[in-house]
Structures are given as structure tokens and as C-alpha cells.
Structure 1
Amino acid sequence: MLREKTTLRAVAIGAAVCAGVGAICASLVLLGNPGNMGICGACFLRDIAGAVGFIQTGKGPACFRPEVAGVMLGALGLALLRRNFTARSGSHAVTRFVFGIWMAIAALVFLGCPFRLLQRLGGGDLNAWIALPGFVAGVAAAMLFERNGYHIGATQKSPAPVGILGPLAVVAVGAIYMKGGLLLGPGPNAEPGTPPPHAPWVWALVLAVLGGAALSASGFCVINAVRQLFQRGKKAMLISTVALVAAYAVVLLVAGKLNVSVDGQPIAHSDHVASAL
């Protein structure tokens, strides 16, 4: 929707869909997820790693996040319903893997992936607003590398089982979670106040399925949205980003939970240099 040549109608629909995603994220926060963390790829994968015992320090959060399974299943389900599911993989796998590691490290230093960045912006976290120029500068630098010939290769169509492996793995871990008592951290029947903070698992799963389907339908990507700051004519993704942030802020405002400040922000820090980098 947002990745193709867009008409005014398509832009409006895409913005409305992304606004719905913003409202879903804010709703998950109101239901018990950590502040400004309705859905976060880096943070939630870290929590799942703790739940399955990959983090042995005993200090990190350990919690299976149904939102991860929900987003993946929502996107997969919509693709299957529309009969446009295509598994894809890319060349230079080691390079992509290393880039992924550094992306995760940077996200956890900032305390949020690019998608959580939008939620922090909408939630009034001024630390995120201060760090935003660093994120924009990073995307601009990557575009400069591309213009000078650097490229890791386009993705290519792969056998369908390749695309199913990820969702199946998450579903398998989810089944273990539903069994109860087999993962670290709170189980599916834990009280909402049990640390680490989490929304009731049914709501988390259902809302994440809707969010995953919406994100898949729109083709939304935070990085592509920032790229459009430097591209002529293409602004659909950027407009949808504004809609997502605004909807997130409105839901929190209506609920009386909007907090515009530097200090006292949930799961945030004021080391602005580190955040910007």
C-alpha cells in the first residue's frame, strides 16, 4: 500500500491503518505493558531470550511476549488470505547477520527499536525527541553509502518453508508458554502486576495479530519513512508515521497517561549522546 506508487486515496488509507496501529500500541500500554512499549521488536525479543534461558545473568527481564507471535501470525495470516505469501531471503547472509547484531545492540542502548522510538515520541518522551536527529543522520549516512555504490544485494524468492520457519518457531515457544511453568518469568495466568510489566496475554495476542496484519497490509517501515525526508515526491510513509505517532499520543492523552518530560520517563535514560549514536 505505502511501498507502491500511491494515490491520495491510498495515502489516506495507509495513514488511517497506521493510526490504528498507533492506537493498538497505546492500548497495550494501558493494559499493562511497559510505558511507551506497546510493541517493541528488540525489547520483546530480549525478554523472550530471557524466558527461554538464553540470558543467564539473572538480572535481565524474562517474559514470553505474545505480541511477537501475534505480529508474525497476523502478517502471515493476511498474506495467506490474500494469496500473496512469498518467502524471501537475501545474499551476503553473514553481513546481514552482523548488521542485525549491531542494530539490536544500538536499539538496547537507546532502549527501544525504531518502532518503539515512534511510541516514545508519541508518549512525550523528550529524550527520544532529542535523540531523533541522530537516527535521521544514520539513515542519511546509509543513503550516502548506497549512492556511492554500496549494496548488500536484493532479496530473492525462496522456498515457502523458509518463510514459515520463523512463525513456527515462535508458535512452538508460545505453546510451551501456554503449557505453563516451563519458561522463566510470568506464565499466561499471571496477574497483570507481576513483573516484568505485561498486558493480559489474550489481549496482547489479539491486538498484536491485528497490528501485524495492519503493518503487513500497509507495508509500513520506519526506516523507509525517514528515507522519504530526503526523497522528492515520496511522502506516503512519512505521513503515515506522523499519523501513527499522533494516534498513539491521542489515546494516551484521552486516558490521562500522556507525560511530556525529560525526567521520569519509563524505560528511558538521559544519556543523549549515547541515544543519538
Structure 2
Amino acid sequence: MKDKKGIISTGAVIGLISVLLVKYGNPANMGYCIACFLRDISGALGLHRAAVVQYIRPEIIGLVLGAFLMSFGMKEFRTRGGSSPFLRFVLGFIVMIGALMFLGCPLRMVLRMAGGDANALVGLLGFAGGIGVGILFLNKGFSLKRTYTLTSFEGFVFPSLNLGLLALLLAAPAFIFFSTEGPGSKHAPWLLALISGLIVGALAQRTRLCMVGGIRDLILFKDAYLISGFISIFAAALIGNLLITKSFHLGFSGQPVAHMDGLWNFLGMALAGWGSVLLGGCPLRQLILAGEGNIDSAITAMGMLTGAAFAHNFSLAASANGPAPNGKIAVITGLIILLVVSYFNMEKEAIKMKGDVKLEA
């Protein structure tokens, strides 16, 4: 499925599934949102106590298990890791802070645009700008170093944790929190959400779907393969919103789970885009890679989960009323940290080689 027809078909399926999940209970323009769903899971586990965003989202479980099953069946499951693990945790944390300032991951950004949310266009500009900054450092030799082959057992841990989450969702013990109001209380039936996640996870694994990779490849190589998948998601979700849910509403105001502060929508997604480039993939891609046995991506996902908990414990996340003061400080701090990480992880050999080439020229 590495031809363009395959990824366009995948995008169409994901776009339509996203609309159907909203039709059957998910929050508006939130058929899928990796950042929002990880935030809900962190709340369900008691890592934060924001009562309106607590639920174990089966879509996340399905994404990981779908990628695991597909990669295992196609003999592509490989356990590897060891590439700057703590830095990846920190970068995952920072990406989550940026996404929750915008109120959505790159995938939800596309779904918000398909629902007519003009604020998401501002987010897209920031996202592309952040990716552009990240590319500058990639061109200057940025690297998180090589990965190493690890024992197969370690690769099974992250999918197994997701099976544990599914058990907790179904058993609903007293120590798991579930929202009774707000976005966390709105969800499609668990089996529909799980099956949807399995389908999307399997398709994303086969096509290597990644929003960050799409914009990066378009800028660096003029390669539209990956970005065509997200264009297809947008088109399919737009058609679904117009014909199935009839929920398309064009404009800045009155958009569901969104705010109209353009500057912080821009900066939030710039932070998420820059951090994701350094990580080598968007939040969706990180979950898919974790399902394939990539321990570095599993650590990144744990960083995002922790970032979501911090965002709500310390009032960093935005709301429909706009960004919180603490959140603004966190985004600016995150941008500074990314600058430091980007600079100090440039390969000296790559810099020297480029300097030598300039001298010879």
C-alpha cells in the first residue's frame, strides 16, 4: 500500500470513520485526536483531576493494537530503541503542551478544518512554520542518534499495556475516573471506537501516514505522497460533515472545543510541529511506531501522556474561553527548550562537512 492510491484510500477511510465516530457520540470535530484522547486517558487513570476530560478512549487502544497486529502479520514488527530516550520523553511532553494550547493534534487540526473551523487554518500556518524551523536544524545535522535492536519481549510491553487499558475500560473499577459531563463524557460505543481504531491503526501502519512527514517531505523533497493522505482525510471528512452529520459550520466563532486566539493557536501548533519534526513523526505516527515495537516512540507516547497530566494539573491547557496565562508561559518555555535541544544535537561532523563543502566551492 505504498503507492499514492493506497494512502489516498486510507485517508478517505479515516475521514469517513472520524465523521461516523462523531455521529455516534464523540465530541464534534473530534472523531480522532491523539492529544485529546491521551489527555482523557491520563484523566481516567487519575493522573489529573479535570473532571470533564476523563475517559479511556478505545480509539487509542485500537490504533496501537491495529499497528501491532498488522506489523506482526507482515513481519515488520521489530523491537528497537535507545535513541536519546529521555530527550524523546521531554519532546513528547512539549508536543502535548503545544497541542493542548491549540486544543488538538495535527489530525484533529485537519478534522476541524473539514468542519469549517477557520481557527484551524491559523493552526495549520503555525504547524507548517514549526516544521520549517525543524527542517532548518535537520539540514544542519540535527540527530537524536541511532537506535539499537532490543529483545522482542520489550516490544510487546506497550501493546500489552493497551490491552490492560481495555480491561480497565470494560471492568470500570472504582479507581478509574469517567466524566459525566464535558468532552470526556461524549464518546461513541466502545466496540465501535475500538474497531475503528484497529482499522485506522492497521491502515496507518501500512501507508506510514504522518502529517508532519507529509509537510516535511513536501518541503524537502517535493514529495506529496504522505501529504496526499491528509488531503484525502480532509476531503472525506468535509463530505461527511456536509452530507452525513450536516454539522459543517464555516467561521471562527462558535466552533466546538476551540478558541479564537489566533496568536496562541499559531504558537501552540508551531511548538507541536517543531517538536514532532525533531521526533521524526506526529503524535499519530508515534503511536503507530510504538505498536510496531519502537521503544523510543513508546517513551515519546509516555511523555505525551505525562504532558497531558501536567497541562491540566497546572492549568496549562487552553479551553473554549482561550489560553490560560500559565499555558502561554509553558508554550514560550517549550519553544526555548526546543531551540536548545535543536542546537546541541546538531552533529558536529555534519556541520564540518557542510563547512568544508562551502570552502571548496
CA apart distance, 1:90: 3.9
- Shift of the 20–154 alpha-carbon distance from structure 1 to 2, 3 Å rule, reads farther
- Shift of the 157–260 alpha-carbon distance from structure 1 to 2, 3 Å rule, reads farther
Equivalent of 1:166 in 158, 170, 181: 158
Equivalent of 2:262 in 246, 250, 272: 272
Aligned to 2:356: none
Aligned to 2:294: none
Aligned to 1:67: 59
Alignment of 1:107 with 2:99, yes or no, is yes
- Shift of the 260–90 alpha-carbon distance from structure 1 to 2, 3 Å rule, reads farther
Q: Output one character per residue of 1:9-41: Cα deviation in whole Å (capped at 9) or x when no partner.
A: x11122111211111111111111011111211
Equivalent of 1:203 in 192, 200, 203: 192
CA apart distance, 1:194: 9.4
CA apart distance, 1:228: 2.4
Q: Give the secondary structure class of the aligned counterpart of 2:185.
A: coil
The normalised TM-score by structure 1 is 0.90
Aligned to 1:7: none
Q: 1:186-197 alignment to 2 at 5 Å?
A: 196-197=185-186
Alignment of 1:227 with 2:216, yes or no, is yes
Q: d(CA) in 1 for partners of 2:154 and 2:255? A: 40
Query: What is the aligned-residue RMSD (CA, Å)?
Result: 1.9
Q: Contact 1:18–1:218 at 8 Å: present in 2 too?
A: no
Q: d(CA) in 1 for partners of 2:44 and 2:184? A: 13
Aligned to 2:335: none
Alignment of 1:149 with 2:138, yes or no, is no
- Shift of the 242–154 alpha-carbon distance from structure 1 to 2, 3 Å rule, reads farther
Which residue identity is paired with 2:93? I
Superposed structure 1 runs of 4+ greater than 4 Å apart:
192-195
Q: Contact 2:52–2:185 at 8 Å: present in 1 too?
A: no
Which residue identity is paired with 1:204? A
Q: d(CA) in 2 for partners of 1:245 and 1:194? A: 22
CA apart distance, 1:70: 0.7
CA apart distance, 1:172: 0.8
- Shift of the 86–207 alpha-carbon distance from structure 1 to 2, 3 Å rule, reads same
Aligned to 1:123: 115
Q: d(CA) in 2 for partners of 1:156 and 1:248? A: 39
Alignment of 1:263 with 2:253, yes or no, is yes
Equivalent of 2:47 in 33, 51, 54: 54
Q: Which has the higher helix share?
A: 2
Alignment of 1:249 with 2:242, yes or no, is no
Q: d(CA) in 1 for partners of 2:80 and 2:30? A: 29
Q: d(CA) in 1 for partners of 2:111 and 2:209? A: 15
Q: d(CA) in 1 for partners of 2:184 and 2:226? A: 36
Alignment of 1:236 with 2:229, yes or no, is no
- Identity among equivalent positions (%) equals 32
Aligned length: 265
Q: d(CA) in 1 for partners of 2:133 and 2:87? A: 18
Q: d(CA) in 2 for partners of 1:156 and 1:254? A: 48
Q: d(CA) in 1 for partners of 2:115 and 2:82? A: 35
Aligned to 1:14: 7
Aligned to 1:215: 204
Q: d(CA) in 2 for partners of 1:239 and 1:154? A: 29
Q: Give the secondary structure class of the aligned counterpart of 1:231.
A: helix
Q: Output one character per residue of 1:73-116: Cα deviation in whole Å (capped at 9) or x when no partner.
A: 11111112212211232411111111111001001111011121
Q: Output one character per residue of 1:36-60: Cα deviation in whole Å (capped at 9) or x when no partner.
A: 111211111111111111113x445
The normalised TM-score by structure 2 is 0.70
Which residue identity is paired with 1:14? I
Q: d(CA) in 2 for partners of 1:156 and 1:195? A: 38
Which residue identity is paired with 2:132? A
Q: Contact 2:67–2:201 at 8 Å: present in 1 too?
A: yes
Please list every run of 5 or more consecutive structure 1 residues that lacks an aligned counterpart in the other structure. Answer: 3-9
Q: Contact 1:121–1:128 at 8 Å: present in 2 too?
A: yes
Q: d(CA) in 2 for partners of 1:269 and 1:88? A: 40
CA apart distance, 1:173: 2.0
Q: Contact 2:209–2:226 at 8 Å: present in 1 too?
A: yes
